[in-house]
Every structure is written in structure tokens, then in C-alpha cells.
Amino acid sequence: MDWNFVLSIILQFTAITVAFTVVLMIVAYTVLAERRVLAFIQGRLGPNRVGYGGVLQPFADLLKFILKEEIVPDKSTKFVYFLAPILAITTALMPLIVYPFGPTVRLPFLGDIALVIARFDVGLLYVLGITSVGVYGIALAGWSSNNKYSLMGGLRASAQLISYELSLGLSLIGVVLMSGTLDLSGIVEQQSAWYGMRWNIIFQPIGFIIYLISAIAETNRVPFDLPEAETELVAGFHTEYSALKFALFFMAEYVNMFTVSMLATTLFLGGWSGPFIQQLPWLGPFYFLGKIIFFLFLYIWIRGTLPRFRFDQLMNFGWKFLLPVAILNIILTATLALFGWI
């Protein structure tokens, strides 16, 4: 057992812990921000009592979730019932570790380290895989709580996620074709050319739009929030969930938002790259965070403005429009790449 190994292990664990905490904080404040922004969009005030302007609201919510009574439906399939939220939150959190949130920086005692927790050759595939596993959380939750609304929600969720995973993956292939690697760090480094402005969105506008749409669908957000359509099925798959388990689902949804925003940033908006990144590598995380926050705001904005799809509209849109367009985008990119124009 050499010390470097131990040190790297420790470092990784700390990094993961830090990342999770940061992400969870951001998520908490995303919730707050969402409520405030929605309130503004709808001409209300929103929560502004707890703390200054409601800054402590998330903690109040957390406290409420913890302290609430656990209600377990009698007829539910217990094991799966408890497994589902854990699956959801785990699969939501796992992809976080592969995103590079900054260029290589120099630290005291530690020397040069790249600001990424884990670097895979197949980072992108890793993300996609974990995301695809994330379906089970919702589907099992809907099935296990033995409630027709939940079952509906679960079925809808699995159908929707299966359908939109295709277009999501295909929309990313354009980027992969251009960068020639599945390694997220590699993709970002390629985009840091042109003084950090060689972003893939310039070459992949169609792919970006497709990705955005299907990402919203993947995270079950408005206008694709059919699995938890309040007006149709009480609360969809988590109708029967209360207290902390509900909190887990709740967090999972927002963490998913966060992760898909990270992916969009990394693949299309150049990740941490931006102007003056060579001179000031520490700008990287802030660029990264800024872009992510832009996406989060976009989410909230869309939620505040758009109505919900009908289910058949959803399916037709996904299969008959989004998928063909994504395939055409791939063909176009491949052709251009073949002639070396991009």
C-alpha cells in the first residue's frame, strides 16, 4: 500500500463529498429561485419571509420534510417501494463525478491537478448509461405503490424516457463525430480553442436544440411533466410518497436538471472554457457555473410560460419529429466531417 494510492483515494472521496454538497446546495437554492421566479412571472411575491428575502427557505423545507410522518401504503410492495427513491437519487447524483469543471490548475502541496473528479475514456457513455438506469427509480416507484395514478405515472415516465433517450443520445452523436472522443474533458479542451470560444453550439445548433428539448423531457419538466401531471394523475408516480422519500424524489428531479444542464454546458457551450481562460485558469469553474445557472433559469422560465403536452402529442413529437431530425443532423454532420469541412 503506497501512500500515493491512499492519498488519491482520500482526495477523490473528499472531492466527491464536496461536489455532492455543493450540488445539493445549488439545487436547494434552485428550488427557492424557481419559486421566486415563478412568483414574479405570475405576479406574486413568492416565499420571502424566512431569512432575508427568503434565503433560509430551503432549510425550512428540508426541516419540514425530515420532521414529517412517514406514511407507507399498506398494499405497497415494500422492498421496491423503498428501493425506488434511493435508485432515483443515486442515479441522479452519480454522473456528477465525470464533468470537468475547470482546466488544470496548480495547487499548493498537490501540484497540477485537473479540476475533474474522475476522467473516463467513455465519460459520455457513462453519463448516458446512468441516466438510462434512472428510469427505474420512477417506474418502480409508480409500480410499487399500488395506486393507479402512480402506475399511470410510472408507465408514462418509462415510455417517455425510453422515447426521448433516443433523440438525446442521437443529438449528442453529432458532437462526438466532431470531437472524435467520448471523453468529456477531451471534448471541453477541444472547445477551449479560439480564446475559449470554439463552442460546439456554433457547429451543432440543431443538435443543441434537440438536446435541449429531449433533456427537458428526460427530466420530466414542463412542458413534458406528464408523469407527475397534477391535474391528471394526482402527483403521478410519487403520489404515495411522503416526507423524506418524497424529498429524495424532489431532489432527484432537480439534480437531474442540474446534471443535464452540466452535460449541455460541457458538450455544447464549451464547459469551463471561455475568454481569458489561458491566463486565469480559475475562471473555469465560474464560467461553468454561470452557464449551468443560465440553463437552470431557462428551465424555470419555460416552466413559467409553457403549457403541458398531451400524451399522444408527446409521443408523436418524440418519434415522428425529434428522432428523424436528430438522424438527419447526424447524417449532415457525418457528411461535412467526411469532406473535412468541420
Partner 1 sequence: MSAILFILFAGLAIGCAVSMIVQRNPLYSAISLIGVFISLACIYVTLAAPFIAAVQVIVYAGAIMVLVVFVIMLLNVEEEERPAFRLRYLVPTAILFAALLAAEASFVIFTVQTSPYQQAHPSASANPSEVGLTASIGRGLFTQYLLPFEITSLLLLMAIVGAMTLARRASFLSPNVRVVPGAQVLTRQTVDPRAVGDATAIETDSTIEAERLLGLENAPHAKDRD
Q: Specify the stretch interacting with partner 1 by CB under 8 A; choose among 78-86, 198-206, 209-217, 263-271.
A: 78-86
- Nearest distance in Å: CB 105, partner 1: 26
173 binds partner 1 (CB under 8 A): no
**If we measure between CA atoms, which residue out of 258, 205, 256 comes closest to residue 227?**
256
47 binds partner 1 (CB under 8 A): no
Among residues 31, 159, 188, 300, the one that binds partner 1 under rule CB under 8 A? 159
Site for partner 1 in 176-215 (CB under 8 A): 181-182
Quick one: CA torsion of 27, 33, 35, 37, rounded to 10 degrees?
-150
- Nearest distance in Å: CB 194, partner 1: 25
172 binds partner 1 (CB under 8 A): no
Helices (H) and strands (E) in the chain, counts: 13, 2
Among residues 88, 128, 216, 217, the one that binds partner 1 under rule CB under 8 A? 128
What are the b/e assignments for 274-301, b being 16+ CB within 10 Å? beebeeebebbbebbbebbbebbeebbe
- Nearest distance in Å: CB 153, partner 1: 11
Of 75 and 106, CB closest to partner 1? 75
Element (H, E) at 7: helix 3-41
**50-57 long-range contacts, CB within 8 A, separation 24+:** 57/32
Q: Specify the stretch interacting with partner 1 by CB under 8 A; choose among 128-136, 283-291, 297-305, 334-342.
A: 128-136
Q: Can you tell me the distance from the alpha carbon of 107 to that of 115, in angstroms, rounded to the nearest whole number?
A: 11
What would the DSSP string read from start to end of 239-261?
Answer: TT--HHHHHHHHHHHHHHHHHHH
Among residues 46, 47, 85, 142, the one that binds partner 1 under rule CB under 8 A? 142
281 binds partner 1 (CB under 8 A): no
C-beta of residue 116 within 8 angstroms of C-beta of residue 99: yes
Residues that bind partner 1 (CB under 8 A): 77, 79-80, 83, 120-122, 125-126, 128-133, 135-136, 139-140, 142-143, 151, 154-155, 158-159, 161-162, 165, 181-182
